[in-house]
Structure 1
Amino acid sequence: MEYCSNSERDTEELGRRLGERVAPGTVIAYTGDLGAGKTAFTRGLARGLGVPGQVTSPTFTIVNEYEGGRLPLFHFDMYRLGSADELFDIGWEDYLARGGVCAVEWSENVDEALEEDTIRVDIRRGDTDQQRRISIQGGPALEN
């Protein structure tokens, strides 16, 4: 499904709608340019899961964990990982076993480790500085 976001708020809202519908064990794989809105989408995802507090990019920590919602959220940034082998070194299988939602930025760096039922979210810049074109493949329908 293709969506057009005209603001960061719209991007977060789309993430919220997905967060309200995902099941335990869901993996969401993001692709998109630097600054495209992957973390904004994840902030909305966290809100949809009922996760309290601020959501920030895990660029320097590789993974941020958020508890307190209906499901835990594990927010990964794979930008600095060179291969899927490194993903397993950081305990990927342990995170999957915890029954939360794994949101994976820069998923193309570890794509071979992701399962077929992974929800794919691609975020690209649109016609204006604020506009984003968001493609979501797999997962629940997000119609209002």
Structure 2
Amino acid sequence: MTAFNATLKDENATVALGQQFAQAIKPPLVVYLNGDLGAGKTTLSRGIIQHLGHIGAVKSPTYALVEPYEINNVDIFHFDLYRVADPEELEYMGIRDYFTDNSICLVEWPENGNGLIPAADVQINIRYQDEQRQITIEAHSDIGQTLVNKLK
């Protein structure tokens, strides 16, 4: 499987890449977002969600764990599992029910849901590089490979 790499100079570039990514996606899709606090995971998610048609703010679901959006009959779920201490907490919220054939799931801190969330189609890694961000988008399924190919 291949990967797409880019350097993002600022927040606007991160949102723009999210918009580009959104042009190529359709359900079902599971996206893992990895990176340190403040790396730009929610900013990228905002670009994706707004480009898909959401009007208004896209906030980090840190305390709610999930922010749902229904756009054009597609369910989009933005998860932030940072505060999950035990994956069993996710079982109580019925996390498996979110991952359907009609959903796009963006999952920040996926390692905290280990064993309870499906494998990623695409894994996005964002890391600091001075004042910029380095992003790598890796395919982990045939769906993900098609998506990465569209980004290249």
Residues 6-50 of structure 1: CA deviation (Å, up to 9, x unaligned): 011111111111112112121111110001100000001112322
Q: What number of residue pairs does the alignment pair up?
A: 142
TM-score (norm 2): 0.83
Equivalent residue number for residue 82 of structure 1: 85
Q: Which amino acid aligns with 2:138?
A: Q
**Residue 134 of structure 1 pairs with residue 142 of structure 2:** no
Distance change >3 Å, CA 134–CA 143, structure 1 → 2: same
Which residue pairs with 2:53 in the alignment?
A: 50
Normalised TM-score (structure 1): 0.87
Matches of 1:111 and 1:11 in 2, distance apart?
A: 27
How far 1:89 sits from its partner (Å)?
2.2
Deviation of 1:117 after TM superposition, in Å, equals: 4.5
Label 1:95 to 1:118 Cα distance change in 2 as closer, same or farther (>3 A).
Answer: same
Offset from partner CA, 1:37-83 (integer Å, 9 cap, x none):
00000001112322222100001111111123462211111011124
| Shift in CA distance, 4/74, structure 1 to aligned 2, threshold 3 Å | same
Q: Give the structure with the higher percent strand.
A: 2
Q: RMSD over aligned Cα, in angstroms?
A: 1.9
